[in-house]
Structure 1
Amino acid sequence: MTRVLISADMEGATGTVSPGDVEAGTPRYERFRRLLTQDVNAAVAGFADGGADEIIVNDAHCGMDNVLIEELDPRAVLIVGRHKPLGMMQGLETGVDAVAFVGYHAGAGEQGVLAHTYLSHSILGVRIDGVPVDEGRFNALVAAEAGTPVVLVTGDDLTCRDAARYAPGCRTVTVKTAISRHAAICRTPAVTSADIRREAAAALSSPPPRPTVRAAPHVVEVEVDSPHLAQRACALAGVEPAGHRTVRMEAPDAREALRRFRALTWVIGGGREGDWT
């Protein structure tokens, strides 16, 4: 039996280029959550074509309730809701053979459409064991420690380029080419859906080798845009200053590193100051 986990983010979905496209409650959001669902359905169809027996979709964007379940391909099940122990990687703990990142994006401090790492503000960069990471690379490390390869990544061109580095041999689909943080050359949904379905099927017919695992424990460093956020983060047990705007923490494995990092983002996000002059 082949089981596949699709982690579905939204900033890298077909057509999305501005914050209003991916923020619940804005006029454009309902339109683009439908396009996200279409990207996810293309991946589901492709993995089914490739012989997957079970496909789990984990809604991984913001409130984690964006994929339209009434329009989801019935060959998949959906994990929905935000309070999940593994966050974007929920479902991995059930034991899967392959992971796909659909709608992913570049990391904080990088070029790319809607680039960020977990927070759309405040975080300037994240490193694990000295290596810069975005959400894809971080999540791929979690998958690697479970012995599970990342077989498909979709997003803008810079996201796909980075995926080739952290998941050698994975299939990628560039749904748009970044011009700036809020502009891109976008391919149409009919074209991107066809490409995602084709590459998902191919990903199972010739999957990459089992990933190599970076030795644990791991040191996570987070750079923020204001010293007061670093000071606030150090209120968490195990978080230490590593500079005026940088904090560090150690974790015994990638899952625990992800759990602690998510807690860190909640603390940092809650300390952001409003606009003032």
Structure 2
Amino acid sequence: MNVYIVIDMEGVAGVTHGSMIRTGHVEWRDRGTRLMTAEANAAIEGAFLGGASSVLVKDGHDSGQNIRREDLDPRADLVTGNSVTVGLMPGLDSTFDKLFLMGFHAKMGTRFAQFDHTISTATINNLSINDIVVGEIGMYGMLAGLRGVSVALTTGDGPAVDESLDLFGAHQGVRVKQGLGRFAVRTFNPDQVLSNITEGAKNAMNNGAPPLEVSLPVTISIDFLRSAEADMAEMVPGSVRSSARTVQYVHEDPDTAFQALQAMVALAGIAASRWASGLYKSGDSVV
């Protein structure tokens, strides 16, 4: 059996504050990347104990340069770097049997969830795929379903795991911490968490729900925080502006639809960065 792992950082046990997930910060370098790599290794170990023949790990946080390759289990391959131009899950196809979603956070607007957001805190209010409001968990899991691959394991804080179970049905869920609010969390013992992840990954190899059925065409709808971001996203050919802050994209080919999603988010980020730097001004006030 072939396993594809996407691992984010916000939902890693021991990641307790923003500096630990901020690329380049000393807390990210010395602690965040180490904890993230350790959880990936725990899942890889469990996957092979459960009968995996191969494991491919995708570094799914920010720039995709967080996993310490030299410390990663040598049995696994790693997809690293910015994957905007090559798809959400490079290499994932129908030859894979299981998808593990690790270190994830809940979607934007989830109560009692640490670091809740959907793709970008700077640009996105809501993301809908085929009229279902989803976060990053749903985004990855729905694309996997379109390729016949089931979500078999989810790790993260309590609300993130609940979100995944609600969307994909019964599968292995490992709660590594419990969010108390966006910037507050109750942490669990890291050693016990790693043991739980290994056991969960092992069990996931022979259990879980079937791949999520996703109908075609794929309809992507993004509700941005500001109209300026929608202005930029609307530049993607084939997109439709459905409201001041909302842009939709519909396509029969899943890869094309999800690439359009990534393109719209990237373009919206340009508007958000201009707003943050004060380039959009009215008089003396940033608007």
- Shorter-chain TM-score tier: over 0.9
2:72 is aligned with what amino acid? Answer: L
- CA shift for structure 1 position 17: 3.1
- Measure how far apart 1:86 and its partner are: 5.0
Q: Which letter maps to 1:19? A: G
The reply to whether residue 274 of structure 1 matches residue 276 of structure 2 is: yes
Between 1:233-242 and 1:35-44, the stretch displaced more is 233-242
Aligned-pair identity (%):
27
Is residue 83–residue 90 contact of structure 2 (8 Å, CA) maintained in 1? no
**Shift of the alpha carbon at 1:275?**
5.8
Aligned partner letter, 1:5: Y
Alpha-carbon separation, structure 2, partners of 1:234 and 1:85: 18
Alpha-carbon offset, residue 257 of structure 1? 2.1
Give the letter for the 1:148 counterpart: V
CA distance in 1, matches of 2:60, 2:267: 20
Task: Verify the 8 A CA contact 1:86 1:258 in the aligned structure 2.
Answer: no
Match of 1:175 in 2: 176
SS at match of 1:163: helix
Aligned residue for 2:93, secondary structure, equals: helix
Residue identity matched to 2:223: E
Q: Which amino acid aligns with 2:43?
A: A
Matching of residue 251 in structure 1 with residue 266 in structure 2 = no
1:1-277 alignment, distance < 5 Å: 2-30=1-29, 31-83=31-83, 85=85, 87-93=87-93, 95-111=95-111, 112-205=113-206, 207-272=207-272, 273-274=275-276, 277=285
Aligned length: 275
Equivalent position SS for 2:205: helix
Report the Cα distance in structure 2 between the residues aligned to 1:35 and 1:12, rounded to whole angstroms. Answer: 11
- Kindly state the Cα deviation for residue 253 of structure 1 after the two structures are TM-superposed: 3.6
User: What amino acid does structure 2 have at the position aligned with 1:274?
Assistant: A
Q: In the TM superposition, what whole-angstrom CA distance separates every residue of 1:205-261 from its partner, at most 9, and x where no partner exists? A: 3x2243242210021111111112112221221122111111111121433222110
Q: Distance in 1 between matches of 2:219 and 2:188?
A: 39
TM-score (norm 2): 0.91
Q: SS of 1:43's equivalent?
A: helix
Query: CA, structure 1 residues 257+61, in 2 after alignment: closer, same or farther (shift >3 Å)?
Result: same
Q: Which runs of 5+ in 1 are unaligned?
A: none
Hey, what's the Cα distance between the residues in 1 that align with 2:140 and 2:86?
10
Structure 1 residues 236 and 88, CA gap change in structure 2 (3 angstroms): closer
- Decide whether aligned partners of structure 1 residues 109 and 254 sit closer, same or farther in structure 2, where only a CA change above 3 A counts: farther
Deviation at 1:85, TM superposition (A): 4.9
Q: Distance in 1 between matches of 2:170 and 2:160?
A: 15
TM-score of the two chains, using structure 1 as the length reference: 0.94
